[in-house]
Structure 1
């Protein structure tokens, strides 16, 4: 005879049976890329928005066994190892025995270690977590390369007996702000959740991706040495993303993986800001934009084949670089080519972007160089732009 509890179990089984579908979700893409790059990830978000459920679904999608550890209910020795005294400690020392969950992870050889409720862990436990997160060591045991680490935390204001994350521990994570997506929640409650998948890396682009990432970070830090290490002054900000040699190294890895995977700029922005902070991260992204700009010498060599960026700030940078290149090596051919590029910019974008480059380029003319016909096309746009500026200033 079927009992009521058996029927209830059947109903619960149906409620927990769900499907998955491909879905473009930037925060999920950022999480999977960081997991692929083997960097510890910390998801920040309010209680109840699905951080834990998202990690469970991630592990299931990737086919990784999930081990969940609530840091706040453990003692420091659960992460640093419990001393076990043998027959002759003076001769053999005192080994640090790892907990059973760490032993099981090593035996499995692969898996997802989920450190939940990290912001409720007291300072002593956070200190014990340092070696686990960075060196993947639990007592005398070293976790194998197939283990990935993901953590979740609530902001201190909404955490139960919450603590600020210590600066050394925070500096070891990729910090991602986790927010619920209305469409995802509605579809999920209907029985279909997004499918998490690791990024597809282009095998033929690995060396170029590494070189690109290293060049981007070193160019920025060469120009802005103060960004190499900036420990925030407030305790709250120290518990988030901030720049240090460690996090810049993490940024190099993330840029390389994102480049090899063809990741969107939105996802890359989440990741780099999640390791070095918003300010330095935005500077790095701006540097990446400049690295992707066309070479002014290539543009001057064949203006008819030029492709200018659509974004106004990037187009302005290209035009300024073209004029600077002509100034550095002025010849009539290069001067004429620059005018052709300015006409192209006028025909395909905002007229005000050509005002300053055109005015500067005009000053580079030698007496024996004839005035090109392109100047007539630009003169009207420059005059209109300047009059508009004067009207705006008079308001």
Structure 2
């Protein structure tokens, strides 16, 4: 499933308190999606990395109750205690945890309690992990445990990632590069021995690196450490070729009509325009934009208009939209 559809499906299952297991390769945003659902709903969120726990960490430690004259289990403080009525207990890396930890998790998932602890009724359980072929250390999940989940498999999607990146203000050169090279968003090869490879998560690291404005000589090793040497060299070469762009503010004020000839530069320019325009943009600015789009190559002009419509920008309110439709209608069929 693509990220948007996965998020919708997970939200439905969380609402009904149905345990689910989210499968997918590393770095595609599994944990981010679950966290976003909790934040958007204003509910609690507890993230447990089970691969870092021992069986007693989850079950708790026994101690002797002198008054009751019996041993009882002291539940761990990191589990939801009921002070927050609703939330998501996220069991990340469940299938990389040791078998004894999985056994403890099995009781928590099956009975919603373990030892003296009981999970509050308003909390949903979501687990996640990498697939067995993803070059990670994983343990095969026992059939009884697997049967307690609804299983969803998530995959990356370049178009959805680009839309997310535009909203988040990711560097336009990255967004433009992924537009030109969609396959570069996710280049994980389970058979490869390389430590660095491109994923949505590692491209976020590249964005942070660029925004930190490192010295020029550090760019290559820093980016190569995120996405690998070969792809880093290609991205930086592409970024340099697309470096000469018209002033976006001048374009939106109607003072600039120059159009880059390099397709790489056009991809970056498209990303910059898409980040600059939103549903609150004045009609006058939209009119200047449409006049500039009339000068762009048809495929770029149509792509920008479609993405703006997806963002909820009402281009129809600008008088120049009819002229734009008249010129590019043949590509909209």
Structure 1 length normalisation: TM-score? 0.40
Structure 2 length normalisation: TM-score? 0.47
**Which structure: larger Rg?**
1
More helix by share: 1
